[in-house]
Each structure stands twice: as structure tokens, then as C-alpha cells.
Structure 1
Amino acid sequence: MYHKRDISWLSFNHRVLQEAKDPLVPLYERIKFLAIYSSNLDEFFRVRVSALRQFQKMDKQERKSMLEVKPKKELREIKKIVHQQQVEFGIIFRSQIIPALREHNIFLLNDYQLFSSAQKQFAQAYFLEKVLPHLQHQYISTAVDVPFLKNRSLYFVGRLAQSDELGLVNIPSDVLPRFIALPGDEHQFQVTFLDEIIRANLHHLFPEGMQSAYSIKISRDAELYIDDEYTGDLREKIRASLANRSIGAPTRMLYDSSMNIELTQQLKSIFGLSKNDLFPGARYHNFSDFFAFPAPAHVEGLYDAPMPPLPHPVLEHADSIIKVMQQQDVLLHFPYQKYDYIPQLIEEVAQDPQVESIKITLYRVAKDSSIAKALVKAQKNGKSVTVFVEVKARFDEASNLLWGETLQKAGARVIYSRPGIKVHSKILLIGRREAEQLRNYTYLGTGNFNEKTATLYTDHALLTADERLANEVADVFRLLEEVSLEGSFQHLMVSPVNSRRKFVACIEREIQHAKSGRAAWMMLKMNSLEDTAMIDKLYEASQAGVKIKLIIRGICCLVPGVPGLSENIEVISIIDRFLEHARVYQFANGGEEALFLASADWMTRNLDRRVEVVFPIYNLTLKQELVNILQLQWADNVKARMLNAEQDNPYKAVSTEEAPVQAQKEIYFKLRTALETNK
């Protein structure tokens, strides 16, 4: 018994929408969650829906051997759920967000007739000076070549007055701000859509007049279909395929639901769409643009209270991070604590005459990466720098390729993706000559070497010189350099070598403890739980009496609480200001608790088709630190939702006597308190 992956993902995105609905969330944070929901949904259609479309084209028997769901039926179900969520989205925006903005004297003017005469003059001048140079308009009909609509771009379309032709014009929100502050009353902050300024000036483009202008948007297939990827230069193939992403097949046309049926059907015919491609929406699309919704100055309470990253109690005043690592393991918690120490570490070893080599895996590289810059400096200082750059990291391929070339030009050894497998591990290895021997220092993390996401994603990172771990990280790099997927690891779990087998062994051990009457439990935190073999193993453990607590942010194909199957399994999901990204696996282990951090979720791809590293925490103090964080997350009764068979995302029930626990705030406050206590 499993939830379907894509339906479970839509349930996750509904949890994001719940944050936009929550009146306890500051207003501009609610607007941000509307933007996140919209951005997530765009990617879902560009990737997952496009994949289902590709499956539809396959031979029926071949498709059955590869896919458990029926694509056509799945697409119908997706469309129904998305429509329900879009209706809820519209209600939240119109009935909650807009009135709440007004309460703060912020007005989003969505009708040109509401503009004052001064604002109309401003809008016309803005149109002629700023907007008109970026517009491309055209006349279309079924008798002429079909115009190409760019992926995720906005357009106005409408029937021209006294004509069978249609007019089409782009809304250039890719080069101009989507929202424009209007001049007006100093006591009111008035904003309008770029769309409205264009709508009011369409007569400059179509002198004959347009009956009504409706907004539309096409989402296109974002997969990079690389023919024969197992031969040739994969880097060059990906570079060549990136251009195809913008011209992929349509997967959704979002249109203004006030558009009449005749025009909708005409567009369907012109652009060669099916009825399942058509999604009615509101007057405006691309709500991801609300990430940049302008705010008035000096208005309090619009955003979350600041939680600036905290200094680490040991690293902040250390003269040398390497010297700290020689004495003790260090555990970092992002974004609660500073990420600065990681580029600082690479900067330090770049200058250290005893350091001979640096090796690192880069999966998603920030555009202005301080990590990559420090690696360039290390190479120029004569260190042997080896960088494994994953060029198949979706939507980050271009940035990864750019930094790969930069490092290569500096003289670093850059190894690009291996065909057929992704390197998703987050590891760094420093080789330092000490007393005529090479000693290894390592960083193992749950999140990317990316200083931007380190301010938004919750992750953990271990800095250690423990030979048990550091020497095995060296073995992982050896496998990567030798293009081998075979090895022996005693302390690390490494996908696809042994992580599935070792995780299964951990579960089996709990099953045996339960059958012997001993305490048996596990608490597992991950982004996604999709692999059916691992789910079956959890079901088996539940039936044996093992108590299982799961914290799953996104996809969860396991169905909890089913009598005789999963009654000993509880699942919660936490959606809050930071994106929960860490993977933590804790097992009772007969009283000697085992705790692992990982780059890997329990998805088939993470266990079988990616290079992942799962690492134990041996230091008892650090282990307890992580346990305390896990327990706070499980106790969350403010942002935690219960995942259930219905997938309706109820908030965790709270009794009147129970104190509110918002895990992310509690974790931050406890780390800050510990820091102040140790001063």
C-alpha cells in the first residue's frame, strides 16, 4: 500500500499553501509562500508532468514494465487536484492577502480605472519610455505560422475588434519589474502590476482595438533528453541540450478563467494542445514574481523577526580551523549558525604550506561562489585541487559548467559527471603532510556547498579528522576518480555501494530486538520517502512492534496508521520559514543508539543511482546535540502537519494545557542560549 509519488508531492505543495493561509505568519512571508507554491508548481509541470507525457508516447507493454501508474489517469488526477488548489490559492489571495495589505495601507491596484489622473499620466509615460521597447506584438490566426510562446513567459491575447484575428503581446516581466510603485498619497503605498500598464496601453500596439485582453502562460518540458548519454562527452551534450529546455513541448497552458470558451478552444487548436494541457487560472499568472513584491519603508511586522546566523562557540575565535579539527569534531547547523567557516576553512588550507591536496564534490554551485573562489586560490598557491562537478544538477547545470571551466583554467583537475549516475554527496577532503605522513581532514554534509542556500535550508555538517571517517572519504574520492562503483566501507554508507544494504540491516536489527522483547524504535528524518522496498521494510518493522517516527518534508509514499500494516508508524511534516533539508537517521540499536547524517533520502535514485554518503556521528556530545534537535522537531505543534492516509495535511492536535513548540525558533533560541552560556 503506497501513496502515488506525484499525488504525494501535490500534497506537500498544499502544505506550502497552508503557510500562505496562516494568519499567524507575517503578511509578506505569506506572500512569499504563495510565490514558493507557484514556483514549485511550475517545476512540477516542467519535470514530472512532462515525464508522464513522455511515458504516454511509449509502447504500452514497455510502459507497463517501467511504470506502475497509468499516465493518462494520473494526469487527470493531477489536473483535478491542481484545479482545487488553484481555487484555494485564489481565495487566499483575494479574500485574505489583499484585505491584509489594505490594513497596512498597501494597495495593489489591479484596474486602470482605479488610477488617479496623475497615476494614469505616470503609467503612460512609463509605458512609452520603459515598456514599449521590450514588447513584441503580432497578429495570429489558424491560417498563419503558429507563434512560439516562451517557457514561463506571460502574454496577453485577445480578439481584435471587428476582426477574426487575434492579437498577441508579451508581458516582459523577465526584464522589467512585475510590480511598479505608483505616485500618490504619502499615507498610502500603491502598487500595480506591469500587466495593467500594458493592458491600458494596448491601443498603441493594436490601433483597431482589442475586445478583451486575457493573460496566458505556457510551461514547457524542462527535462534534458540526451541521446546515447553513455558515450561521448556528457558535458558537451548537456551544454548543447540546455538550449532545448526553453523550447520543450508544452506541458500546461494557464489562462484567465474569464476567457470565453470559443477563444479557449481556438488557442487550443492554434498551439496544438490537448484538453489536459488547459488549466484555468486567475487574472494574473507567474505568482513566483511575488518574491519581489515591493514593501513600504518603516512598516513593522511585515516579515519574520530576524534570526541572523549565530557564531559557532568553538570556531568563531579560533586562529585555525584545522587546529580545532586536530583536537575535536565540530558539528555545524545551518542556517542557525554561520556558513562562513566553510569557505574560511578552504581559504586557510589554501595558504597552509603543509596542505598538499584538496578534493571536493560540487552539486549546486552558487553563482558568486566563495567556495569556488577559494578553490581557485588554493590551486594558484600550488595545491593539488580535484573538483568533481555534477553537471546534471537540474536547473544548475549552467552555473556548474561555468565554475567547472573557471577551475579548470586555474589548473585544477575537474572531473565532470559520469554517464548514468549523479554525484549527490557533499564531501570535502584535505590532505595535510604531518610528521612525514599524509593526514586526512574531512567535511561531510547534508546540504550543498552553496552559501546562498545555507541561509535558507536547514542542514548539518561535520568537520572531523577522525581516521575512521576521513580515510573512508578518501576511498570515496578514489572510487570517483577511478570511475568505479565497487568498494568496501566499514563506517560510511555509500550509495550505490552499500547504503541500501546497511540501512536494511539497521531496520532488521530493530525487528530482531522487538521480537526479543527489547526496546525497538527509530526516528528518521528526510526530504522524501519513495523507495517501495524501504517502505516495505518499515511496514515489516511496524508489524513486528518497532515504534517508528518519521519527519518527512516532501514526498511520502508510505501510508501510516493502517491497522495490521503501519499502525506503529507516525509521520509529521514541518513547513516553516526555513526549508527542512537535513537527513537524519536514528536507531535504538539495543540501547547503544546509532545516529547517521546523510546526503541521501530514501528514494530509489538516492540508494541505487547516485553517489551518496551517509556518515555516523561518533562523538557522544555531538550525537546528543542532534538528538535534542530531532526531539524538538518531533515536539513541534505549531508548524507540524500529520501525514495520513487521506493526505489532507491536518495540523498536529494541541491540547489547551500544551505549550506551543515551533521547532525552528526553539532550535535557534537553544543554540543562542548555549552560546551565551559558554561565553
Structure 2
Amino acid sequence: MSKQISPYLNRDLSWVEFNRRVLQEAQDPENPLLERAKFLAIVSSNMDEFMSVRVAGIHEQIRAGLVKMDFTGYSPAGLWKRLLKRTKNMVSEQYRAYRELMKCLHKKGIFIKEYDELSLTAQKAMADYYNEIVFPVITPMAVDQSRPFPHVHTKELYLAVTLGIEGEETTEEPLFAIIQIPSILPRCVPIPGRSNSKKQEFILLEDIITTFIDTLFTGYNVYSVSPFRLTRNSDLSIDEEGAEDLLEEIEKELRRRKWGAPVRLEVESDIDPYALQILKEELEIDDGLYTIDGPLDLSFLMKFSSAVTGHEQLRYKKYEPEYPKEFETDQDIMSVIAERDVLLYHPYESFEPVNEFVWEAAQDPDVLAIKMTMYRVSGQSSLVKALESAAAAGKQVTVIVELKARFDEENNIAWAKQLEKAGCHVVYGLVGLKIHAKMLLVVRREKDGLKRYVHVGTGNYNENTAKLYTDIGLMTSNDIIGADTSALFNEITGYSAPRDWEAFAVAPTGLKTKLLELIDREISHAQAGKPAKIIAKMNSLSNQEMIDKLYEASTAGVSIQLIVRGVCCLRPGLPGISDNIQVISIVDRYLEHSRVIYFYNDGEEELYLSSADWMTRNLQKRVELMCPVFDDSLKRTLINILKLSLDDNKKARVLRVNGQYEHFELGEEQPFRSQFAAQKVKSWKEAIVE
């Protein structure tokens, strides 16, 4: 008798399938070669975070003796084994793609070479580079009775070296040392070429160091040099309740992160057996060993692809975001928003109006206050400078900086201190909750009294990611939204009681309840024989209660279309459970990041923008908001955006009942790529997708 299929897909196994979709973009011969290199880099970066957080967490559960199954039917030990198998298979596939990519780049005159393959002139140049730049920076660390095994930093590249004393016979147990490859230097070093040559050659830094390894161990014979890389548990464990100062506690925890338990050890396939034995014993790694046929940590390909000069045909065609036509007037930003709501769709439309909005507010003598949330901020943030300028002008500037934004903690601590120094009021989030809502409020004194201007969005206030992620922002002076925004800021920064929201739905207190009510409404319409439909676009769907409610809606006859980029624990196509649910995922040039929700509502269509994915952490452990779009023309715009995604048959994959994602079978259909189509739309406010 066959085992009954679970109605749920496992969150972590679903993530592996997402990263596989990223890998497919690196394998796609229709993508430009240097863009394929970037996708290979993203696969590695994604895997690093997954290993250091999700897999590390499962490892901790096993060590704690937990055996309870999750709602998808996996125990920690069972999931650990399945994840190791799938991720190791993916890594093998990734390196096959790497070797194929290198062959293709060679045909274009672009090479990553080993030292022995270089011309004598190039070898001389690399010898000079080593002696002048590299040698003074690196430090060999011997391991013996007086010098214990040194601390190995997470996700840094090292060389394991075995040696013997010069003139003595080889012993059974060689001497051992490690060298950290300095991350302050470029991993991929360009090799000077002849002025008339079109070839571009690079060499990896670890190959240069390996070539000249004898200079670090004079008087010794070097037997082997083996690259290795360790990944540690990097999740923060903060006692927020007991912390007197959250900023100080997070700074301490960031220092402790360097000492997290080892989770994964990556080594090259030809590693010296004795070196491997030492590493496994000292780092206490067994199951988490990844043997790799190629250079470790392919994330270097991101910078490599940028370092290649020329060859524009090997990249995506440059795209300049359109400046929104609503703001192409003599009016300032607030004057435009006072007259009508405006939607911004990044990266197809420019992020500049958001920057201009804050700068205008900073310089406007009638603006009294600016309030803003910050989750992940770019390195050179125009918004931060504008807020500093506003504070210097005497305005009330309040910034909620989320210190617990994973892997951006140090960056956010630096911004928080800089803003405080400039005179801004800085709030470090709430105990036990992350502030993930994206909102910006400007309070202005006008003839009729105070007026609120608001920006709410699906993405972070980050000028850099606004060029790489698809996100949507709403700029409005709507009184109801303005009042809710003010109330939410007061609730976060003060002791205000939870509000009866007029427009917003807010997590953790009411967002999930609101969503369940909206789905129930569609169920009641379907049960009454009326058309009922839900479209939801998000990054991840893993909350069991939300999935069960969608199953209930499907059973009642509600048509459900889900656009879920990453993790999806809902299993579509189950007879009698999810027959009416379709799930697609789009992975393409830009990272799909917007959260948009549509309810047919018996013809009175409702659309919402949200900062929240439908995950337990978003709905129960974060401050998130969902904001309605009231303007009918902007509703049509959002429907157009959703329809673009749903019509994609080129980069969209459909989730099958077996948990696998497949490309659409085109048949007689013309290929349609939603992101490329979006680049051709000159005005989102006028475009009607047929």
C-alpha cells in the first residue's frame, strides 16, 4: 500500500527547490553568459545563508534531542538527511554548470587561469603582485603542541598546508598549518595583457598564494596545499527580555556569532587525506562535509562578471527606470500627492521620487515631522542624508531602525548611531518583534490644519535594491491611511493601545485575522453560487493556518492563483483539497519581491499592498502592515501587474502536485516574459494588459 501523500510541502525542501530554479537561470543558454555567472554566484550566496541559519537550526534541534515531527511530517533528523542529500546533489549540478560556463567564456576570450597556464610575462606580473601586495598581508598559522588549532572564521576561505622539515625523511604525520585567504584583497585577480589583445585573463588569489607557498615556510618542504571553507551557525540568539540595552546586546551577539557551531565544511575533491582528517577532527564535522570539484565559494563570480570589461553583448541590455509621469510637472512631490494617489513600480519606475519626497520635506519650513522605518538601507543612502538634514533644520525626525535585520545588523547599528548623532530620535524596534513594515510619514502644517503625506511599500528603503528587486510603493495623502500610519508609529515608539484600524491590517495582532476574514468572504460568495477569486503575490507561503484556509476556499470553489517566488508549503492539485489552486514561481533578471493581494469580492474588487509574506514569522513575530489601494485607476494598475506575472510562460514555473516545478509547455503559444514586457510599458497608469 503506497504511503498517503502529505497535503503540505516541507519549508526547507521547498527552499532547495527555489535555489534550484536560480541555478536553472545559470544553466539557461538563452541568458547572457556574464548574467549566468551572476546566477551561479547567487546560488552560492543563497546556500551560505541557508546553511548558516536554517540547516544550522535543524542541527541544533538534533543536538538538543528533539524528535517531534513538524506539520509537514519531518523530524529534525529525517529532514537533516534529506537536506544534505539534496543540497550536495545541487552543488554537484552547480559545478557542472560552472565548468560549462567557463568553456563558453573561453570561446569569447575570457579566462580564469591557473598560474602554470600563464605566459612568462603574466607570471612575472603575478609574482610581483604576490610580493608587493599579497605576501605582506597573509599570516601562516602553524598547529603543534604549543600552538593550538586557530579559530576558523565562518564563510572565509583558507588553505590547509602539510609540511615536513627540509632534509628530513617524510614522517607518517606531517606538520600542519593553515592560511586565511585575505578577503580584503580581490579574489579574482585580473592579469595584465598585451595592449592589442582582446583576451581577458584572471587568476584566483588562492592559486597565486599556492604557487608561492614556499615563501611562507622557508626551511620546510610543502607536501600539499588544500583550500577549505567552514560555515558556522550564524543565527543570533538574543535574550531581548533580559537585555537592558538592545543595541549593546546585539553588538555582543554579533561578536559571539563568530564562534557559532560548525555546520558545513567545504573542501576541494583532491584534498590531502591527512589534511582532511585534521580538519574533520578539529572542526568536529562529519555529515556536513561537502567535497567540491572546482574552486570553493562561487560567489566571487558576481565581482568577476563586473570586472570583465566590454562584452556588453554578454550582459542584459542596460535598463534605465522611467521617471513617473505624475511627477513630471512644475509641482513638488507633496503637491502632486495632495491631488491624487500615486503608485511606483520598481525597478521599472525610478525610486527617485521617494528620495525627493524626503528631501523636500527636510527643506520645507512647513513640515513639522518626518517618521520612517528602516530595515535594510543602502551603503550611501540619500534618505539618511535627508533625514539628517531635516533634524538639523529642527524638525521632529523619528527613525525606527530594525537592529535584528539578519546579516544587516552591523550596518543598521552604524546607521542608528549616525542618525542619533545628527539629532534624530532613533527607536530600536520592539522586544520580541522585528519591525518589517515599510512606511514613511511626513506631517505638514497647511492652511486648513495639519496634513499627513504617506509612503507605504512592499520593499525596503534602499536605492540599490530598488534597481534589482520588483517592489511597489503607494504615495498618498489619504486621511484614513495617514491616521493609521500615525497611530502605528505611536504604537511602536510609545505605549499606545492597539488601534481599531480603519485602513491597515497590522501584524502580529490582526493581519492574519483580516486575511482569514477576506478569504472567508470569498468562500461565502462561492457557496452562494457567485464568482469568487483570489490572487496573491508574495515571496513565501508556509503558515499552516493560511494554507488550510486556502484549501477550504479551494474546496468551496474559489479560484486561487498564487505567485510565490520562493518557499511554498501548499501543495496544489490535490483532488478534493486544492484542485482550484495554481501556484507559479518567477525567477528572472530581477528578484520578484512585491506582495500584492487581490479579492474579487462579488465584483467590488479589493487590492492590497503588504510588507508581509504568509509565513508564521511574518504573521506572528513581526510588525507588518497590509494597506488597501482605494483609487480605482491604481487598482487597475495592480491588476495589470498581477496579470503580467500570471501570463508569463517563459520564466514562470508551475508547481506540480509532486512538489516539483516545471516550465510551461508552450505549444502554439508565443513565449511571454513578464519582466521584459514590463520594461516596455511606458506608463503603468495607462497600460491595460489585454
In the superposition, the TM-score normalised over structure 2's length comes to 0.94
Show the 5 A alignment for 1:56-67. 56-58=62-64, 60=66
Match of 1:23 in 2: 29
1:172 matched to 2:181: yes
- Taking structure 1 as reference, are residues 661 and 166 closer, same or farther at Cα in structure 2, changes over 3 Å only? farther
Q: Per the alignment, do residues 569 and 65 of structure 1 end up closer, same or farther by CA in structure 2, a change over 3 Å counting?
A: closer
Q: CA deviation at 1:627?
A: 0.6
The superposition leaves residues 586-613 of structure 1 with CA deviations (integer Å, 9 ceiling, x where unpaired) of 0111111111010011011111111111
Q: What secondary structure is seen at the aligned counterpart in 2 of 1:224?
A: coil
Following TM superposition, by how much is the alpha carbon of 1:675 offset from its aligned partner in structure 2, in angstroms?
8.5
Q: 1:487 Cα shift?
A: 1.9
- Partner deviation per Cα, 1:78-137 (whole Å, 9 max, x = no partner): 11001110110111111x20111011111221x332122222222222111111112111
Distance 1:107 1:409 in 2: 48
Distance 1:67 1:480, change over 3 A: farther
Q: Which region of structure 1 is more displaced relative to structure 2, 99-108 or 571-580?
A: 99-108
> Relative to 1, partners in 2 of residues 1:301 and 1:647: Cα closer, same or farther, differing over 3 Å?
farther
Identify the residue that residue 3 of structure 2 maps to in structure 1: none
Question: 2:19 aligns to what SS in structure 1?
Answer: helix
For residue 435 of structure 1, what is the aligned residue in structure 2?
Answer: 447
Which letter maps to 2:139? Q
Which whole-Å CA distance do the structure 1 matches of 2:135 and 2:628 have between them?
Answer: 59
Shift of 1:168: 3.2
| Matching residue within 7, 13, 20 for 1:14 | 20
Tell me whether 518-527 or 299-308 shows the greater mean CA deviation.
299-308
Name which of structure 1's ranges 142-151 and 216-225 shifts more when overlaid on structure 2: 142-151
CA drift of 1:169 comes to 3.7
Q: Secondary structure at the match of 2:682?
A: helix
Residue 672 of structure 1, CA deviation: 5.6
Q: 2:375 maps to which residue?
A: 363
Instruction: Give the number of equivalent residue pairs.
Output: 672
Corresponding position of 1:147: 150
Aligned equivalent of 1:255, options 250, 261, 267? 267
- Conserved? CA contact 2:38–2:301, under 8 Å: yes
Change in CA separation of 1:331 and 1:230 when aligned onto 2, cut-off 3 Å:
farther
Structure 2 residue 512 is matched with structure 1 residue 503: no
In the alignment, the residues of structure 1 paired with residue 242 and residue 657 of structure 2 have an alpha-carbon distance, to the nearest angstrom, of 41
Structure 1: distance between partners of 2:72 and 2:684: 51
Correspondent of 2:320 among 297, 308, 318: 308
- The letter of the residue matching 2:112 is L
Aligned-partner Cα distance in 1 for 2:384–2:263: 36
For 2:112 and 2:261, the matched residues in 1 are separated by: 34
* Structure-2 separation of matches of 1:290 and 1:431: 46
CA shift, 1:476, in A, is: 0.9
Shift of 1:187: 3.3
Residue 65 of structure 1 deviates from its aligned partner by: 9.2
CA contact (8 A) 1:366 1:399 kept: no
Residue in structure 2 matching 1:182, options 183, 191, 196: 191
Provide Cα deviations, 1:187-214, integer angstroms capped at 9, x if missing partner: 3212111121111111112343322322
Question: Is 1:290 matched up with 2:290?
Answer: no
- Mapped partners of 1:672, 1:619: distance in 2: 17
Q: Greater shift after overlay, 100-109 or 643-652?
A: 643-652
- Please tell me whether the aligned partners of residues 457 and 580 of structure 1 are also in contact (alpha carbons under 8 angstroms): yes
Q: Which runs of 5+ in 1 are unaligned?
A: none
Q: 1:335/1:390 Cα in 2 relative to 1: closer, same or farther (>3 Å)?
A: same
| Partner residue in 2 for 1:98 | 102
Partner letter of residue 93 of structure 2?
E
Instruction: Describe the superposition over 1:552-572 as per-residue Cα deviations: whole angstroms up to 9, x where unpaired.
Output: 011101111111211111111
Say whether the 8 Å CA contact 1:234–1:417 is kept in structure 2: no
8 Å Cα contact 1:638-1:662 kept in structure 2: yes
Once the two structures are superposed, residues 18-74 of structure 1 have per-residue CA deviations (whole angstroms, 9 ceiling, x without a partner) of: 00000111000000000000001001111111211222233548x679997422221
Please say if residues 167 and 210 of structure 1, whose CA atoms lie closer than 8 Å, have aligned partners that are also in contact: no
Give unmatched runs, 5+ long, in structure 2.
1-6, 165-169
| Cα offsets for 1:357-384 (capped at 9, x unmatched) | 1111111122221111101111111211
Equivalent residues in 2 for 1:576-655, closer than 5 Å: 576-655=588-667
Check conservation: 1:349, 1:355, Cα contact below 8 A: yes
Other-structure match for 1:32: 38
CA shift in 2, pair 1:142/1:54, >3 Å: farther
2:669 is aligned with 1:658: yes
> Closer, same or farther in 2 for the Cα pair 1:137/1:238, shift >3 Å?
same
Q: What CA distance in whole angstroms lies between the structure 2 residues aligned with 1:563 and 1:676?
A: 38
| Paired residues of 1:574 and 1:639 also in contact (CA < 8 A) | yes
CA contact (8 A) 2:325 2:683 kept: no
Matching of residue 197 in structure 1 with residue 201 in structure 2: no
Measured at CA, do residues 483 and 41 of structure 1 come closer, stay the same or move farther in structure 2, by a change above 3 Å? Answer: farther
2:250 is matched with which residue? 238
Q: Does the 8 A contact of 1:157 with 1:166 survive in 2?
A: no
1:87 and 2:92 equivalent? yes
In structure 2, how many angstroms separate the alpha carbons of the residues matched to 1:259 and 1:410? 53
Q: Judging changes above 3 Å, is the alpha-carbon distance between structure 1 residues 560 and 230 closer, same or farther for their aligned structure 2 residues?
A: farther
| Distance in 2 (alpha carbons) for counterparts of 1:648 and 1:67 | 16
RMSD: 2.1
Q: Which range moved further: 497-506 or 157-166?
A: 157-166
| AA partner of residue 301 (structure 2) | F
Q: Secondary structure at the match of 1:331?
A: strand
In structure 1, which of residues 375, 379, 385 is the aligned counterpart of residue 397 of structure 2?
385
> Quick check: 1:416 aligned with 2:439?
no
Distance in 2, matches of 1:460 and 1:369, equals 19
Q: Tell me, in whole angstroms, the C-alpha distance in 1 between the residues paired with 2:315 and 2:425.
A: 44
Which residue of the partner structure matches residue 122 of structure 1? 125
Matched AA of 2:578: S
